């Protein structure tokens, strides 16, 4: 199957530079809603048969324009949410953001036993994300859209798609409504089809003034 992994649109937490990973999370901004509408137009004709979102409201809001325009079924799954910030939740300071991103970096490079302070380990993250990917595959859709989160998408792809972890994209930003496409199956493996870091509705929908920590590059 083809799996389209779309990051949600811009939120008020992104603009504030906050590590907003808790449920239900903050809403989309006006720009985020514009990104969602543009993403729906960009996805028109891609053959999406089902839409799957996380427990965070921003993924539901991002998928609304496509679901409403195309009449697609949508399911909310428990494991597609962002990597939990734990002790860093809602923090905006440099040390907290660096601590969050450095933990994600360990996971991207296979050090899955490292635990987010006050949160989950890489192994625990992948277990819950893998479980939901399997639910998406079991839906029978040939092409499915998963609306998820920046750090979560990058970490899952780097961990489950061969050779991605060593590529520059794995430690690069994934902007709001950026999209990564993979093809394959959980038991047979996945291959990378596309890595579109910028908003799929067009580069003019990017807000370069927003700190957006969960979309930031993972630095050494």
CB 164 within 8 A of CB 192: yes
Choosing from 12, 49, 82, 98, which is the catalytic residue?
A: 82
Which neighbouring-strand residues pair with 3?
A: 144, 182
185 DSSP assignment: E
CB 192 within 8 A of CB 180: yes
84 vs 152, 159, 192, 197, 203, CA distance in Å?
A: 9, 17, 25, 22, 28
Question: Can 82 be counted among the known catalytic residues?
Answer: yes
Question: Can 8 be counted among the known catalytic residues?
Answer: yes
| Angle (CA) 66 23 56, round 5° | 10
In this structure, the chain runs to a length of 220
Catalytic residue set = 8, 82
């Amino acid at each position: 199957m083809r799996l389209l992994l779309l990051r949600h649109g811009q939120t008020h937490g992104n603009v504030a530079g906050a590590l907003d990973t808790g449920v239900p999370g903050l809403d989309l901004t006006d720009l985020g809603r514009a990104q969602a509408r543009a993403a729906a137009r960009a996805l028109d004709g891609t053959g999406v048969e089902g839409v799957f979102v996380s427990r965070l409201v921003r993924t539901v809001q991002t998928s609304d324009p496509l679901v409403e325009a195309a009449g697609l079924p949508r399911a909310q799954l428990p494991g597609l949410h962002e990597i939990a910030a734990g002790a860093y939740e809602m923090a905006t300071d440099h040390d907290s953001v660096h601590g969050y991103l450095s933990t994600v970096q360990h996971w991207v490079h296979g050090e899955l036993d490292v635990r987010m302070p006050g949160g989950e380990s890489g192994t625990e993250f992948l277990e819950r994300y893998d479980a939901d990917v399997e639910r998406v595959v079991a839906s029978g859709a040939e092409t499915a859209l998963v609306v998820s989160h920046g750090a979560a998408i990058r970490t899952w792809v780097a961990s489950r798609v061969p050779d991605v972890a060593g590529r520059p994209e794995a430690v690069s930003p994934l902007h709001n409504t950026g999209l990564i496409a993979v093809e394959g199956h959980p038991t047979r493996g996945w291959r990378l089809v596309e890595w579109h870091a910028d908003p799929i509705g067009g580069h003019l929908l990017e807000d370069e003034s927003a700190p957006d920590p969960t979309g930031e590059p993972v630095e050494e």
